Amino acid sequence: MLFSIYIFGGSSSATPRNALAVAVVLSGEQQEYQRVFSALENAIKEDSRQAIMLTSYFANNFISQKPFARPEINIDLIVTVGTSAARKVVAAGIMVPVVSIFLPKDNFNVIWHKPATTVAGIVMDQPMERFVELLRIVLENGDKVGMFSETIGEHAKIRDILMKARLSFVEEPINKTITARNIRRLLMSSDLVLVLPGQKNISPQRAKWLLYMAYREGKPVIAFSPSYVKAGALAAVYISPEAAGKQAAQVIIDISRSPKTISDAVSALDRIQFPQYFSIDVNSQVAMHLGINLPDERLLEKEIISNTGDGRSGSEYAD
């Protein structure tokens, strides 16, 4: 399935030939990817100064139909939404510049390790400073933050950030997959468990074990997605599909305004951008069970913003 949207800003004389032609490649038909595209589309519509043409594809169709290889179809820039779309575009060896969005930082780094083209990304990982502010609020009676790792020292940069914030870091090494014993040890040695994007060792089934055992032991879990909160995490800091689309739209608009070539304009971007916008979800039932009093979610967001500035820094967590 393929669906196309054509959007022209600027003067009424704008035509497809002088518009920036952007192919938005979605990982699948899931609602979250379509929400990203809708937000991206709406944000570009609101900017009437630029001529931008969006054409959206599902990844399988984009690769199988190869519109990028047809001389009659002009594609200036590709925006991949999600991990699967990025994998398929890079595997196809397409030479068109790419902005890869809405995927974990670790996935971005692996997929675009040796790209055939110019690429920049907007990842799902929040700057660690935002998590630190939330951890400080939650950890009224403790300071030990626990994480699973495949190797000792895997999260050294996160440990250093936590230490600067006067929080302790507890690491539980695992062997390929997390076991009940790993979960039990980490819960016994920490006051809180932190789960971040890109932790491949935590499958959905293992996440359920973790949340169930943490709830039973009275230990909070802080995560990176609303699905974790619904399943039993105390809270999550995350970028919504709407926020991801809005941020991507601004990047596309900036590229369209640049006097540089499209490839050079993409090269001039930070290779990895953190989310400019973020949301917080709290599971009030879990908070009540743990005896933790948290402010309203919007108040939490405002407090974190006030203590972290715009929150897009965090270069020490971007490698």
* Residue 146's CATH number: 3.40.50.2300
The DSSP code for 187 is H
Same domain, 47 and 161: no
| pLDDT(316) > 90 | no
| For residue 18, pLDDT beyond 80 | no
Do both 137 and 45 map to the same domain? Answer: no
Q: Are residues 292 and 160 in the same domain?
A: yes
Helix, strand or coil, per DSSP, at residue 221: strand
87 and 145 share a domain?
Answer: no
The DSSP call for residue 48 is T
What is the token pair recorded at 291? 């005896």
> In whole angstroms, how large is the CA radius of gyration of the chain?
21
Q: Are residues 70 and 82 in the same domain?
A: yes
Domain that holds residue 175: 128-238+279-317
Backbone angles phi, psi at 300, to 5 degrees: -60, -45
Number of domains making up the chain: 2
State yes or no: pLDDT of 180 exceeds 90.
yes
Report pLDDT for 35: 97
For residue 154, pLDDT over 90 is answered with no
CA distances from 44 to 4, 8, 102, 112, 252 (A): 15, 9, 18, 26, 8
How far apart, in whole angstroms, are the C-alpha atoms of residue 53 and residue 244? 19
Does the pLDDT of residue 11 top 60, yes or no?
A: no
How buried is 290 (Cβ within 10 angstroms: 0-12 exposed, 13-18 middle, 19+ buried)?
A: middle
Judgement on whether residues 178 and 82 belong to the same structural domain of the protein: no
* pLDDT attached to residue 13: 35
Q: Which residue has the higher pLDDT, 49 or 261?
A: 261
Predicted confidence at residue 238, as pLDDT, reads 95
Q: How confident is the model at residue 14 (pLDDT cuts 50, 70, 90)?
A: very low
Q: Are residues 145 and 62 in the same domain?
A: no
Of the candidates 266, 209, 208, 223, the one whose C-alpha atom is nearest the C-alpha of residue 104 is 223
Q: How far apart, in Å, are the Cα atoms of 31 and each of 27, 34, 68, 82, 226?
A: 11, 5, 25, 12, 14
- Residue 313 binned pLDDT confidence (cut-offs 50, 70, 90): very low
Assess whether 258 and 301 both reside in one domain.
Answer: no
Does residue 56 or residue 69 have the better pLDDT? 56
pLDDT averaged over every residue in the chain = 88
Q: How far is CA 193 from the centre of its chain?
A: 20
Q: What is the pLDDT averaged over residues 78-102?
A: 96
One domain, residues 137 and 43: no
Q: What is the average per-residue pLDDT within 70-79?
A: 88
Least confident of 20-29, 94-103, 131-140, 220-229: 131-140
Output the 3-class SS for 71-124: CCCCCCEEEEECHHHHHHHHHCCCCCCEEEEEECHHHHHHHCCCCCCCEEEEEC
Determine which helix (DSSP H) or strand (DSSP E) holds 280, and give its type and residue range: strand 279-282
pLDDT (tens digit per residue) in 227-244: 999 999 999 999 999 999
Whether 304 shows a pLDDT value over 70: the answer reads yes
Query: Do 24 and 76 share a domain, yes or no?
Result: yes
Same structural domain, 133 and 108? no
Residues 32 and 84 in one domain: yes
